[in-house]
Structure 1
Amino acid sequence: MKHLFLALILLSLTTFSSLTFAQNKMQSLDELINKTDPAWPLVQKWIDSAKNKVEVQPVDSAKAKEALYNMQVSTYSTLGAVIYNTGGIMVDHGWIRILGSGSTRLNRNVPEWNKGKTIQEYGDKPDYLLVADDAAGGFFAINYGAFGSDLKNIYYLAPNSLNWEPLNAGYGEFILFCFDSDLSKFYEGLRWASWDKFIDNLDGSKSYSFRPYLWSDEGKDIEKSTRKLVPTDDLYKFNIVKQKELAAKVKE
């Protein structure tokens, strides 16, 4: 009986290990590259008819394959298509930076950018996924449960509130929003009068930090704020810390 009991324990442990491995198993690149119905031709049509200025960054094939594999998303999806076919997309002279597989001007890719922020290891399932940001220090993310029940919808971490605000749109709709909507209306209060003179050659890995902070009572008028370029990575981490601090004060 003792030997039978031990055998059952070993069997259950082996089964558990196998299930865990299966859950975390990474799909191969061949499985992720959809050859019959990829989303990229549709995205190309959107780019060709875009109302706003759209600049697709050059793609490096090796980097694209690595990023797609690390992200574990199919090219059947719009997100997978953007990762695999672009080094990123700059919209409205580079004001919005949609992440792809990385390029000279936009030297970040989706999985790498999220590692240490929303995931710890490639293949992890995030609560939200950072997919784009802007020159004013705002961040766009796909909701996977962190922000509510509207899964796969885009949220915007607004620099003038530090709240994750719902856009009521999925990733594909968000891309169309960037390409075709009136961005000046969306960014009202977040663009200073001469913003367009500073953006065309802006490094896609840097964003503007403002003093006073735009989310503070003193920072409501952006024309009276001073601007400084900082690494986007530093600004994101700073905003998340400040967001938690502000949330804690509200609960007091």
Structure 2
Amino acid sequence: MRELSELVEVERPGWPVVIEHLERARLPVRALPGDPDRGRTCLHRLQITARSFLGAMALESGGLLVDDGWLRVYGGGGPELPGLGEVNDLSAAVVHGPPVRLIVGHDVLGGIFALNGPGCEDDRYPGRPGEMVYFAPDSLAWEPLEAAYSSWLPWMLEEHNLENFYADLRWPGWRESVAGLTPDQGLAASPPLWTKEAARNPAAVSRRPVPFGELVALHREFRTGMDGADPGPFGTL
């Protein structure tokens, strides 16, 4: 493993560029304070430099709450959000190497944004190594996004991109519903978003706050029940 100093002391660190994107964002975004010690530990276990956007998020940020908390993007960890190290159990990376897929964000409906690692080369892990993928709550399937993390992070801060991406999953009054949640809560849908009933009549779907770990566990249970296949990591919450 490379020493921490090699990862931190770099030319052209990524964090000032990330800050520029945050300041130009045309939708509500809140950068959360991070814990410096957790951030440095996270960066060391990721074994990437602070020059990259992902490394900068790990080292300098406690995470992001985007669009009034609809999307939670993980950093090194802080008082409001767990960090990449906790969500992905990066303590195991010291012994076993980097995770096959790194969970980098969740949305309020239990959708999962992840970065494919070098081992993502079988049917469980669609997309190429180094590509961002999304686990959609309305299909319970992983969808390749054809973008690297360095492209995805600025993309989701641009005006209308999240609005268009979630066009079929948002409802009148969604912002008020999300604003009432804490960062450790999500919204469970009834009937579930992946059912024919929800697709036929989105207006009939009800939503209730639940602990986020419970919501993600439900999606794993539903997905595994479809064909018995393991959908891979969803993150530890």
Q: TM-score, normalised by structure 1?
A: 0.80
Q: Structure 1, residues 54-82: CA drift from partner, whole Å, max 9, x if none?
A: 21101221222222223332212110101
Q: Distance in 2 between matches of 1:102 and 1:202?
A: 19
Listed one character per residue, the Cα deviations across residues 92-140 of structure 1 (whole Å, up to 9, x for unaligned) are: 111111001223332x11121012xxx6713332221100011111110
Structure in which a larger fraction of residues adopt helix: 1
Cα drift, residue 27 of structure 1? 2.9
Q: 1:178 to 1:191 in 2, by over 3 A?
A: same
Q: 178-187 vs 196-205, which deviates more?
A: 196-205
CA 1:98–1:38 in 2, change beyond 3 Å: closer, same or farther? same
* Structure 1: gaps (5+ residues): 1-25
Give identity over the alignment, percent: 30
The change in CA–CA distance for 1:176 and 1:247 in structure 2 (over 3 A counts) is farther
The offset of 1:224, in angstroms, is 1.2
**1:89 maps to 2:68:** no
Match of 2:46 in 1: 71
- Separation of aligned partners in 2, 1:217 and 1:196: 25
Matched-pair contact (CA < 8 Å) for 2:10–2:49: no
Mapped to 2, the partners of 1:204 and 1:72 lie a distance apart of 27
* C-alpha separation in 1, matches of 2:45 and 2:216: 22
Q: Which residue of 2 aligns with 1:111?
A: 85
Greater alpha carbon shift after TM alignment, 93-102 vs 148-157: 148-157
Q: Find out whether 1:80 has 2:51 as its counterpart.
A: no
| Higher mean C-alpha deviation, range 37-46 or range 85-94 | 37-46
- Out of 118, 129, 133, the position equivalent to 2:106 is 133
Rounded Cα–Cα distance in structure 1 between residues aligned with 2:127 and 2:66: 29
Contact kept in structure 2, 1:57 and 1:90, CA below 8 Å: yes
Deviations 1:214-234 (A, max 9, x none): 101112233312212222222
Corresponding residue of 2:8: 33
Tell me the residue number matched to 2:235.
none
Counterpart amino acid of residue 223 in structure 2: Q
Query: Aligned partners of 2:19, 2:143: CA distance in 1, in Å?
Result: 28
| Residue 216 (structure 1) aligned with residue 204 (structure 2) | no
Conserved? CA contact 1:110–1:130, under 8 Å = yes
How many pairs were matched up? Answer: 220
- Segments of 5+ residues of structure 2 without an aligned counterpart are 230-237
Displacement of 1:181: 4.3
What is the aligned counterpart of 1:143 among 113, 116, 127? Answer: 116
Change in 2 beyond 3 A, CA 1:40/1:120:
closer
Which stretch shifts more, 206-215 or 30-39? Answer: 30-39
Look at both structures and tell me which one has the larger radius of gyration over its CA atoms: 1
Secondary structure class of the residue paired with 1:239: helix
Cα distance between partner residues in 1 of 2:190 and 2:91: 32
Contact 1:56 1:88 in 2 (8 A): yes
Runs of 4+ with >6 A deviation: none
What one-letter code is carried by the residue in structure 2 that aligns with 1:81? A
TM-score (norm 2): 0.85
Q: Aligned to 1:202, what secondary structure does the other structure show? A: coil
1-structure distance, mates of 2:223, 2:41: 33
Q: Determine if the alignment matches structure 1 residue 206 to structure 2 residue 179.
A: no
